[in-house]
Amino acid sequence: MINGIIPLYKPLGMTSFSCVSKMRGIVHQKKVGHSGTLDPNVDGVLPICLGSGTKVVDYLMATGKTYRGAITLGFATTTEDLDGEIVAEQHDFTPLTMEQIKAGLTHFVGSITQIPPMYSAVKVNGRRLYDYARHGETVERPRRVVKITDFYPIGAPVIDKEAGTQTIFFEVHCSKGTYVRTLAVDFGRYFGLPAVMSQLTRIASGGFDIQQTVSFAELEAAQAAGTLEQLVYPIDHALHGFTHVDLTVDQWERVQHGAFLSATDLQATEAEIVLRYNGSDKALYCYDNQHQLYKPQKMFSLE
């Protein structure tokens, strides 16, 4: 079994689930997952976790994400992007100046509360919101607090006088769970204008940037050539922020049996540490204040 992470370039038109299914066919194993859903009309970085790499998905997602995209002012849709039906239009507005655009984007920097769009994969009462939407049903959506680290324009906006629209190009650095579609709509609402997210590419996620990604074609070629594992990053890529402790032979034997370890033996003081043996990450241990010992939180390998 292959264990690790592949920074996939997700093409337009594919769901994240279909990417996982295709990856299973390439690597010939079932234990495959992704770290952060991308909509079909969004391309870019989609880290794929293989084998024990599926245990570090949460740590990959915690690093945040970076997107480049476009917001078009002048109309709004049911899905908050170009896939939906138009539900509002206003084409006789005065185009925003660059100063207004910068101020509007900066307004959303910091911790903000978002309501997920109805056409999203968020579950409410066991059903995806998009399932409610497709059946014409409404349901109260859970609010979520996300963090926008940076949000700024890229280049000059484009005004289409014939269509009565203005398109603004941006880059945004945000926490996991952020809906950039909703950011686009809220940006328009800030100026009293209908808006949609008209294009989006994820350029960084899980500590990978888009230059590091590999395509399905490259993966299939590598599999045929027997070099696929050269494209796989170790699970430590997701754990580099933790203190690492190298185990002795005796400690490793105890860890294999789920033993608690003392902070003195490990010479550690951090709340969470990665335990290594023979140069390989074996487990993530956390400190238990009640017992004053380190206990297993995640096991990556018993071999």
96's torsion region: left (phi>0), alpha (psi -120 to 50) or beta?
Answer: beta
Going from N- to C-terminal start, the domains of the chain cover 4-63+207-237, 65-203, 242-299
Classified as helix, coil or strand, 23 is helix
Given a contact cutoff of 8 angstroms between Cβ atoms, the answer to whether 225 and 100 are in contact is no
* Set 39, 43, 186, 236: catalytic member: 39
Report how far residue 292's alpha carbon sits from residue 283's, in angstroms, rounded to the nearest whole number: 18
Return the CATH fold of 242-299.
2.30.130
The string of pLDDT tens digits covering residues 83-139 is: 888 999 999 999 999 999 999 999 999 999 987 776 666 777 777 767 777 777 777
Position 120 scores a pLDDT of 67
pTM (two decimals): 0.89
Look up residue 251 and give its DSSP letter. Answer: H
The string of pLDDT tens digits covering residues 1-52 is: 889 999 999 999 999 999 999 999 999 999 999 988 888 999 999 999 999 8
Instruction: Decide whether 4-63+207-237 matches 65-203 in CATH topology.
Output: yes
Active site (annotated) includes residue 39: yes
Domain 65-203 has CATH 3.30.2350.10: yes
CATH architecture of 4-63+207-237: 2-Layer Sandwich (3.30)
